Amino acid sequence: MVIRTLHWTVPHYWIWGLPFFLFYSTRFAQLFHERPNQGLLRALLCYIFSPMRLGISKFIESYLLWKLPLEKYGLKPEHPFVEDYAACQMAIMPENFFNEVEKGKILFKKTSKWWFCNEGIEFEDNTKVEADLVILATGFEGKKKVKTILPEPFCSLLECPSGLMPLYRGTIHPLIPNMAFVGYVESVSNLHSSEIRSIWLAGLVDEKFKLPTVESMLSQTLKEIEVMKRSTRFYKRHCISTYSINHSDEICNDLGWSSWRKKNWISEAFGPYSSQDYEKKD
């Protein structure tokens, strides 16, 4: 397994006996993370509780280092866990993964550059690995695919200088008319966020609400991008995981729904949000 950039992985959604959602996926947890359009008081609150955010990240890291042999195999990232979470780079470790590593069936090679050779793969330190088959599990560049189908001038307007697509409500590009992008902006639960954006898009098509001006939409998207750039070094992927509930709140407000979907304030503050919370309209 060739590794170019180390990222944190979790074996399951429990940390030291506590459910993972308590740390990042409730209104109370996300209260301490920056989000677009926050007021001065909330910005001050985020600043005051910044050590708490780092402490939570360290708490999770301590469990992962105890549970998984990351240091043994040189797989411990140098950056905080929260940066991977804010960039949607956190992944779930496959079951029995390290059992196969212990058996020698999975080997690791950390490198920033590699290329094919007659025997298989060669690395920048001149070492080689013999291989009959190489699987490129590198993801894909969605923007490149979209650019191939968009004519000018829209093709050139697709992304910001930061490399991210400015999508209002994670769906509409303010400068490209009559086109929507569902599923491009990521969250910890892509199915949930894509589903609620699809509901929002259907409401827009049915003229249940109107879009703001192009300037307002661009301003909103740029604020989201700036929040992400301040939250993680891996901001090349647009992710809303640290303010996902606020993102859903804004969609609910557009649709004329109540943004508070729980039955009581305790569940509202400390319960995780899921697709089931948005099943019924008000």
pLDDT by residue for the chain (282 residues), tens digit each? 888 889 999 999 999 999 999 999 999 999 889 998 888 888 888 888 889 999 999 999 999 999 999 999 999 999 999 999 999 888 888 888 999 999 888 888 888 888 898 888 898 888 888 888 888 876 666 777 777 788 888 888 887 777 788 899 999 999 988 889 888 888 888 888 889 999 999 999 999 999 999 999 999 999 998 898 889 988 877 889 999 999 999 999 999 999 988 889 999 999 988 888 887 654
pLDDT score, position 280? 61
- How many CB atoms are located within 10 Å of the residue 36 CB? 19
pLDDT score, position 140? 64
Q: Specify the long-range contacts of residues 24-27, CB closer than 8 Å, at least 24 apart.
A: 24/85, 24/188, 24/241, 24/242, 25/188, 25/244, 25/245, 25/272, 25/273, 26/245, 26/269, 26/270, 26/271, 26/272, 26/273, 27/245, 27/268, 27/269, 27/270
For the chain, give every domain's residue range. Answer: 2-130, 142-278
> What CATH number matches the domain at 142-278, 3.50.50.60, 3.30.2290.10, 3.60.10.10, 3.40.50.880?
3.50.50.60
Q: How far is Cα 115 from Cα 248, in angstroms, rounded to an integer?
A: 43
pLDDT score, position 281? 55
Amino acid identity of 266? I
pLDDT score, position 256? 92
